[in-house]
Amino acid sequence: QVQLVESGGGLVQAGGSLRLSCAASGRTFSNYAMGWFRQAPGKEREFVAAISCHGGNTYYADSVKGRFAISRDNAKNTVYLQMNSLKPEDTAVYYCAARDGVLRVGLEEFDYWGQGTQVTVSS
């Protein structure tokens, strides 16, 4: 089992920045590819970004490419999502997820999920 706890969400004006963190516990963190997903009200959960076990590979949704950056610190068992140039359409609950093995981006590919952190971007 892997436990994931997100933090860093909040209210920010359009154009601003936030950094989300996800602290993992329970298993060897470096065995897991990590991802960030989000779910806006009335919409399905969608992929945002993912990173391989040792950080060498990353993938981004087209909607956030060039604005968001995913990174990880395996010594701290933590994955981050730096979000810049935020837009009102980025408003959602952001979820951290872990996958045992190689990097994938499909929601159904991830085994463990955090409870989510709310990000609200005002116009």
C-beta of residue 98 within 8 angstroms of C-beta of residue 33 = yes
pLDDT tens over the chain, length 123 residues: 899 999 999 999 999 999 999 999 988 999 999 999 999 999 999 999 999 999 999 999 999 999 999 999 999 999 999 999 999 999 999 999 999 989 999 999 999 999 999 999 999
Per-residue pLDDT at 100: 93
89 φ/ψ angles, rounded to the nearest 5 degrees:
-75, -5
Per-residue pLDDT at 56: 93
Per-residue pLDDT at 1: 85
Per-residue pLDDT at 57: 96
C-beta of residue 26 within 8 angstroms of C-beta of residue 1 = yes
